[in-house]
Amino acid sequence: MRKAWIAALWAVSSLIVVFLITLPISLQAHLIAGCIVVVMMAILKTFGPSTSVLRKIALALGTAIVLRYVYWRTTSTLPPISQLEDFIPGFMLYLAEMYSVFMLFLSLFVVSAPMAPRKAPPIPPGEHPTVDVFIPTYNEEPELLASTVSAALSMEYPADKLTIWLLDDGGSDQKCQQEDPVQAAAAIQRRADLQKLCEGLGVNYLTRARNEHAKAGNLNNGLKFSKGDLVVVFDADHAPTRDFLTNTVGYFLQDENLFLVQTPHFFINPDPLERNLGTFEFMPSENEMFYGIIQRGLDKWDAAFFCGSAAVLSRRALGETNGFSGITITEDAETALELHSRGWHSIYVDKPMIAGLQPETFASFIGQRSRWAQGMMQILLFHFPPGKRGLTLPQRLCYCSSTFFWLFSYPRLMFLISPLFYLFFSLEIFNASGAEFLAYTTTYMMVNLLMQNYLYGHYRWPWVSEVYEYIQAIYLLPAIISVLANPNKPTFKVTAKGETMEEGHVSEIGRPFFIIFGILLVGVVLTGWRLVTEPFNHDIIIVVGGWNLLNLLLAGCALGVVSERRNRRRSHRVDLLRRCELLIDGTAYAATIDDGSLGGARVRPAANVVLPETERGAPAALRFRPLASNIPIDTLPVTIRNVERSVDGILVGCQFQPDQPLHYRLIADLIFSNSDEWKKFQDSRRNNPGVLLGTIRFVRTAIFQTGRGLSYLIHLQKLWRERRRRPVLAPAKRG
């Protein structure tokens, strides 16, 4: 009976909403109503308490304006089909807008009331399930792997219940026996080096005969040789903190049908946008919107999915699917989809407990995102989540949100080129006057910005999503089209990590952004010219020209993104504040390790300590008490890199000089032990500037980055000219 009343109430409410949306009112009345909604949303956001009721009221008000815009856009603005030159691009723009509205509503469903942070259930003494830790690797360097394996060894868990496996796909029989003798020798040497590393650290090394099904095949090979109740997966560059297992394993004791506990991916280095725009220290990272809010929203509907790393999975559940799915190149989401459809559950724990590395170069970043986009398109084509049998309706909607999201490249590029149809060719693809555009489109855009700020304000600043989408769209659209044309074509490619750049330069794939910027700049010139020559069209020209100017700001920001800053540091510093002794020539000096990275640390001697004079490169050592009780040594060899003297005291720069595997245990204990450090850094960046301040910051950044990008291009042109002018020496004649 109660369900019938709810259904009836929903039906009546829907009829009222439809009536209000389609109610014919004057342009002035709509503009007034839209402005009132914008003001009310801003007041609720600024002064109202952060309660779910007020949040939903504000989102409901915004939704009404969005639906009103959709109705007007559908019934009043499309060009007549008889004018194909206008109708075709006009309808393509309309589809792009409807996609954006569709994704907005999916976002509202997923994240309007996300799951609150969970508290880890304790594991009763003697009831710890056995755990296998898989660290799949392909071409990563032994030093990076040593850090990840060492951090995994330091996790708090009974030693007899924990087994760690390094799954090496770079030293397989296929790699060692390949025809190229140089590459074969490198694979043989890699296998020997990693076997020695694993022996020194006391973990298992495992490879296989052939590199089949990429990462999924590598993980499934690990399942064949291991027996643990639970399987933990860490990417080769994802070093866990000591409390990872204590904060995740207990959930499996509460729910026997749980197949996954996923945790966020936290990165200690900036992605190319953050590094080149200089936002890493104060603006939330791109991944924080997904891991900070979207995964929590998915978790509410039992739809949080496996992200390939930093996760614990049930071996019993994986047995139902014969291991990790390998049909697509995103084995993680595919595996989760299949297990969700079989009735298994998942949980998301919103606490950063791994430290990973993001792609350093723009080209590597695009390569990674292209793989994700292609993999999600494969899932959409091969499994079609909206119709997947076994999923609940909320799960279907959640997987729709996760897969359809990657189609953003089409609307982003349509929004980019649409103003140019009018400015360059006088095509009327959007039938509306300047007053109508102001009343409907402007209020819709303002409401959209406010709704996005409501949903993601602390995790994504205004206009940042547009920049991220634009810099990816140019390359993702061809990648997606290739999948739609041939779903079996994409192959798994490992993302490069730990790259360095000795000098600043324009990315090797950055040229299209300069070309697009030039075209948009011509559009600005045409706007001015048409304002002078067509005074009777001022309202339309101003609207379209303003749209093109906004695109120019996005394009200018992109110039800064593809202008790669110099980056010689391969890992990034974290605060440590660990007591230690600095050993120089056999004498111990009391000190504190202020901060450090994978390469070294800065040590501050105690106030009453006088250090002897030392030269750059002089040998020394750090002695400190490890946090993990299973590390049998306490002294780490270093060399003195520099000595800084200031009014605040002395800082000694030390470079780590590990010469045995156990030294990596000490480095990992220093850098990766404490998850509170990652949480503290995340929280320091999670502030919401609001729509107005965020927009001002975006415009200021866009103007500055436009100048920086153009200066990089000019400098590059000078270098090219200088190289062309250099005389070419003729080869010496033999005789």
C-beta of residue 635 within 8 angstroms of C-beta of residue 623: yes
| 643 burial type by CB count under 10 A (0-12 exposed, 13-18 middle, 19+ buried) | middle
Q: CA end-to-end span of the chain, whole Å?
A: 104
Helix (H), strand (E), coil (C) string for 383-446: CCHHHCCCCCHHHHHHHHHHHHHHHCHHHHHHHHHHHHHHHHHCCCCCCCCHHHHHHHHHHHHH
Which of these is catalytic: 168, 332, 350, 669?
332
CA dist., res. 455 & res. 461, Å (int): 11
Please compute, for residue 421, the number of CA atoms within 13 A of its CA located in the half-sphere on the CB side.
Answer: 19
Q: Which residue among the candidates 169, 237, 299, 669 is catalytic per the annotation? A: 169
CA angle, residues 461, 465, 467, in degrees to nearest 5:
110
Residue from 596, 668, 661, 638 nearest 237 by CA: 668
CB 309 within 8 A of CB 261: no
Let me know if 332 is a catalytic residue: yes
Unique residue bearing structure tokens 């392909």: 138
Tell me phi and psi for residue 584, to 5 degrees.
-130, 120
Beta-bridge mates of residue 347: 261
Select from 379, 298, 365, 381 the least CA-distant residue to 331.
379
Count how many residues are written for the chain.
735
Is the CA virtual torsion 88, 90, 92, 98 positive or negative?
negative
169 is catalytic: yes
Bridge partners for 658 per DSSP: none
* Helix, strand, coil percentages, rounded to 5, for the chain: 55, 15, 30
Q: For residue 336, give the nearest of 305, 291, 377, 294 by alpha carbon.
A: 305
Sign of the C-alpha dihedral computed for residues 133, 139, 140 and 146 taken in this order? positive
In sequence order, the β-bridge partners of residue 593 are 578, 603
For the CA atoms of the chain, what is the radius of gyration?
29
Backbone angles phi and psi of 295, in degrees to 5? -65, -35
Give the pair of three-digit tokens for residue 622: 């750090």
Report which of 407, 410, 437, 408 is spatially closest to residue 422, judged by C-alpha positions: 437
Q: Are strands 239-240 and 354-355 parallel, antiparallel or unpaired?
A: antiparallel
Sign of the four-CA dihedral 34, 36, 39, 43: negative
CA distance 529 to 541: 10
Question: Looking up tokens 């049909």, which residue turns up?
Answer: 327
**How far is the C-alpha of 135 from the C-alpha of 119, rounded, in Å?**
27
What stretch of H or E contains 162? Answer: strand 162-168
Nearest residue to 571 (alpha-carbon basis) of 655, 684, 641 = 655
Question: What residues are labeled active site?
Answer: 169, 332
